[in-house]
Structure 1
Amino acid sequence: MMFPVVQRLIDAVNAHDLDALTATFAEDFTSSWPAHPARSFDGPGPVRKNWEFIFAQFPDIRIAVTGSAVSADEFWGEFHYVRPGAADMRGVIVIKVRGDEIVESRFYMEEVDDAAVPHPMPGVRAERSTPR
Structure 2
Amino acid sequence: MTMQDPVERLRDAINSHDPRQVADCFTADYRCEVPHRPAESFVGSDRVADNWAALFERLPDLNARVIRRAAGGAELWSEWEMTGTGPAGAPALLCGPVIMSTRDGRIASTRFYLAPVAGPAAG
Counterpart residue type for residue 102 of structure 2: V
Aligned residue among 103, 106, 109 for 2:111: 106
Match of 2:32 in 1: 31
Structure 1: give runs of 5+ residues left out of the alignment: 118-132
Mean CA deviation greater in 57-66 or 104-113: 104-113
Amino acid at match of 1:67: R
Q: Equivalent residues in 2 for 1:77-96 (5 A)? A: 77-84=78-85, 85-96=90-101
Structure ranking higher in strand proportion: 2
Residue 98 of structure 2 corresponds to residue 97 of structure 1: no
Matches within 5 A, 1:1-132: 4-84=5-85, 85-116=90-121
Q: Distance in 1 between matches of 2:39 and 2:120?
A: 27
CA distance in 1, matches of 2:92, 2:34: 19
Bigger mean CA offset, 65-74 vs 78-87: 78-87
TM (normalized to structure 1)?
Answer: 0.81
- Runs (4+) off by over 4 Å: none
Q: Deviations over 1:91-110 (max 9, x none)?
A: 10011111211100111122
Paired residues in the alignment total: 115
Counterpart residue type for residue 97 of structure 1: T
Between the aligned partners of 1:30 and 1:96, the Cα distance in structure 2 is: 10
Q: Which has the larger radius of gyration?
A: 1
Cα shift at 1:44: 0.3
Find the residue that maps to 1:114 and give its secondary structure.
coil
